[in-house]
Amino acid sequence: QDEFGRTVFPDHWPIEWDEDFYVGKIVPVIHYTMGGIAIDPDGHVLAEDGNVTIPGLYAIGEASGGVHGDNRLAGNSLLECTVFGRHVGLTLPVRERDSKPTQVASTIAGPGASAAPASTPPAKAARAISAEELAG
């Protein structure tokens, strides 16, 4: 038993004892790099000084870190992806409706840069996805 009283390997093995086999202890480990792109609670990407770096640039999920610690361990990644993805997705049209594509493009590419407008605004192109579609 481990330190929590759980049986690490049960007494009933699914193999014959006269066969060759290898045994190894399987335990949870930290298997992701700690850290990530620093974001604020709204998903904005932050510079080292804590200021928003590029208007309209967001990070969520595995790319981000800093809101609940440096990153996540075990099952937090799905929670972070879904919660921050939904939050940013639902509030993005409200936050960015006054932004102009040229503002973001000039921030990235420098003064005088322009961005072609999208043929269909993302808010109008979005649709609900059913659980069946999501499950595949």
Q: What residue segments make up the domains of the chain, in order of their start?
A: 37-135
Q: What's the pLDDT score for residue 11?
A: 60
Chain segment 12-40, per-residue pLDDT in tens: 556 566 666 667 766 665 555 556 788 88
Overall average pLDDT of the 57-82 stretch: 66
Residue 115 tokens read as: 């961005």
d(CA 72, CA 66): 9
Are 36 and 66 within 8 A, CB to CB? yes
Phi, psi values for residue 104, rounded to 5°: -70, -45
In the chain, the percentage of residues whose pLDDT exceeds 90 is 0
Question: Cβ(58)–Cβ(87) under 8 Å?
Answer: no
Element (H, E) at 37: strand 37-38
